[in-house]
Chains A and B, each alone.
Chain A
Amino acid sequence: MTHSEPRAGQSAARGLNDKSIRNLFIFPTIAFLIIFNIFPLLFSLYTSFTDFRASTNAPANWVGLENYSYLLTNEFIWRNFTITAKYVLISVTGQVVVGFGLAMLLNRYMPFKGLITTLLLLPMMLSMAVVGLFWKLLYDPNFGIINHSLGLGKFEWLANPDMALWAVAITDIWMWSPFVMLLSLAGLSAVPKHLYEAAEIDRAGTFYTFFRITLPLVAPILMIAIIFRTMEAFKTFDLAYILSSQPTTELIAIRLYKMAFLEWQTGLSSAFAYIVLVMVVGITMIYVKYLNKVKER
């Protein structure tokens, strides 16, 4: 008891003690997480096994794995998956090629390098919806600048079922290449200059130097960029939704949105969302495993 007073004085001098940090920061965060993340996650897991519809008052009936088996055997859903896979592949590959290429160009002395880098980063900072709307104008077959500058006449980008997905992917590449560029640039500038000098003296060619020195050293950070972009591309909704309403651009996120909020098949769409979640986690795990392997070497 006699010690209690000096102790209180000490803790006041030290600032917040562990207990008040717990009460002020940790508990609210946990509560927030439970209410907005954990509960919806668990609730949607439950609804994915029911025929629940959020638009009616009808009680949810337990249907077991019926939703899952329906989705996994439905050829239309599989088409959505195929479209998404194609989209992810085109879009992420494009972003890595363009982004890494830009980074290689920027990773040397040039005038106005800082300004150029900043300007190149702008697309990434725009809103998806805005980008979608003005690329719609750029793609316009009648007055769009893309057809005009490429001399394509009245070429249909978004109305053409075969081109629409490419058009969306190109827009995504335009918007997100800077992200890959930024990470690659960080990786490239961390490669010690003396290694290049040693390679030059050792008479290594440009390609040999690139594949033996540059790429192995940048690989881990490039891998991180690819993980992020793949996860994002999987979830793409707004860009594709605004740009095109073709069935050939119906990505899983759009299908999911329609299923959940236009058709109100809440239970079924929850199951769908879980399938997508498992897939994204699975793909990410493959990447992370590879990333660790790259880092170990």
Chain B
Amino acid sequence: MSQIKLQNISKTFGVNKALRGLDLTIEDGEFFVLLGQTGAGKTTSLRIIAGLERPDDGKVLIDGQDVADWNAAERDVALVLQQYSLYPRLTVRGNLEFPLRSKIRGLNENQIKRRVEQAAETLHITPLLDRKVERLSGGEMQRVSIGRAIVREPRVFLMDEPLSALDAKLREVLRVELKKLHNELGATFLFVTHDQVEAMSMGDKIGVLNKGRLVQVGTPAEVYSNPVNTFVARAVGSPPMNLIDGQLSAGSASIGAGAFSLPVAANGGVDGRDLTFGVRPEDVTLESGAPVEGRVFDIEDHGVIKILTLEVGQNRLHATVPAQMSVKLDDSVRFGWKPEKVLMFDRGTGVNLAASA
């Protein structure tokens, strides 16, 4: 149970700047998800916290203590990796015991046995205990790998895309289980992923990472409804937020050289300024009396909802509608949006005007 603080961390690999002045605080007992694309610096951050890499610059504090001189063993963190990293030729029990057999811990056989069995029970792998790890399926391996982290009762759990190698079904199951595990253990979790669904569904807090910098930190709801810039707006949410270029004129968004115009709740916008308007697909409304007419360009049926792609002139917009609504391709529909939900970003910098004001 620990608080982790990164202060101004930089790390360069050759010519490649992995992290540029990263500041990050993970509170005690928090489930923190670091979201970012490949190469954003997620794994590097994790490895720096774990003590597997040294930062070129900056400080890592665990519970307020500078751990620069501590090696991976001393930091007492647990790491779960995408590739499982199970010790070959050992049984599941052997793998779970491995970290406990370290002399530093000074545990006796009974304690080891108890901890292993407890962890196995938590993760439902008790029947596998005497099996060799080579004979396990991917999901079982990842459970064992998580189990190996649990038995140690570490200060911090670090997880590097632990679910990405699993198939969709299993990923969902383990997602729920990890979340439950976090509640039971009350430990600090740092979970790294490129999958925004994982980030949204698991995190107490999400940190969005782009090119080695932290772009936004917040609860999933905050990040979802109020992204600080267009990068975050694109990164979070599925289907992604509609981002369309236009200008503000007299409290309305004028889109694509007069293709259509819809009202917005003016917040910090100046008339005539080049903006990018952002609106979530669920905030686009289809009604018979709505102000704009569009053509149905594409329909994706997701069972619960349908995702429509509407075309107005050169512009395309996603809209989610209830599944029972009957629409056909090339239908003409009338739509509007919820003015108070529309976000405005500077077109040049991509910054959310409401956030920068």
Contact = CB atoms under 8 A, between A and B. Distances in A.
Interface stretch (B20-28, B74-82, B334-342): B74-82
Q: How large is the interface on B (under 10, 10 to 19, 20 to 34, 35 or more residues)?
A: 20 to 34
B38 interface: no
B52 interface: yes
Interface string A123-149: 000000000000000000000000000
A217 B102 contact: no
A200 interface: yes
A64 interface: no
Contacts of B102: 202-205, 208
Contacts of B81: 194, 198
Nearest to A297: B89
Interface string A195-221: 101111111110010001100110000
A192 interface: yes
B239 interface: no
Contacts of A195: 85, 87-88
Contact of A201 (B50, B83, B132): B50
Interface string B98-135: 11011111000000000000000000000000001000
Interface string B197-224: 0000000000000000000000000000
Nearest to B76: A203
B85 A200 contact: no
Given A205-B103, A216-B89, A297-B89, A200 B73 contact: yes
B101 A208 contact: yes
B152 A197 contact: no
A213 to B, nearest CB: 6
Contacts of B148: 202
A197 B90 contact: no
A213 B87 contact: yes
Contacts of A201: 50-52, 72-73, 77-79
A199 B85 CA distance: 9
B277 to A, nearest CB: 45
Contacts of B103: 205
Contact of B71 (A200, A208, A213, A217): A200
A216 B87 CA distance: 10
Interface in B241-256: none
Given A197-B79, A203-B105, A217 B88 contact: yes
A200 to B, nearest CB: 5
Given A192-B83, A197-B52, A202 B88 contact: no
A195 B73 CA distance: 14
A108 to B, nearest CB: 16
Interface in A163-219: 192, 194-195, 197-205, 208, 212-213, 216-217
A203 B78 contact: no
Contacts of A198: 79, 81, 85, 87
B85 A194 contact: yes
Contacts of A203: 73, 99, 102, 104-105
Nearest to A216: B89
Nearest to B77: A201
B52 to A, nearest CB: 5
Contacts of B85: 192, 194-195, 197-198
A91 B81 CA distance: 43
A217 B87 CA distance: 10
Contact of B98 (A197, A204, A297): A204
A199 B79 CA distance: 10
A227 to B, nearest CB: 20
Nearest to B104: A203
A213 B83 CA distance: 16
A205 B101 CA distance: 10
A200 B52 contact: yes
A216 B132 CA distance: 14
A198 B85 CA distance: 7
A202 B83 contact: no
B71 to A, nearest CB: 7
Interface string B130-154: 0010000000000000001000100
Interface of A: 192, 194-195, 197-205, 208, 212-213, 216-217, 297
5 contacts: A197-B52, A213-B87, A213-B88, A217-B88, A297-B132
Nearest first, the 4 A-B pairs at minimum CB distance are A202-B99, A203-B102, A198-B85, A203-B73
Given A201-B79, A203-B99, A204-B99, 15 more contacts: A192-B83, A192-B85, A195-B88, A197-B79, A200-B52, A200-B73, A201-B73, A202-B99, A203-B102, A205-B103, A208-B102, A213-B87, A213-B88, A216-B89, A217-B88
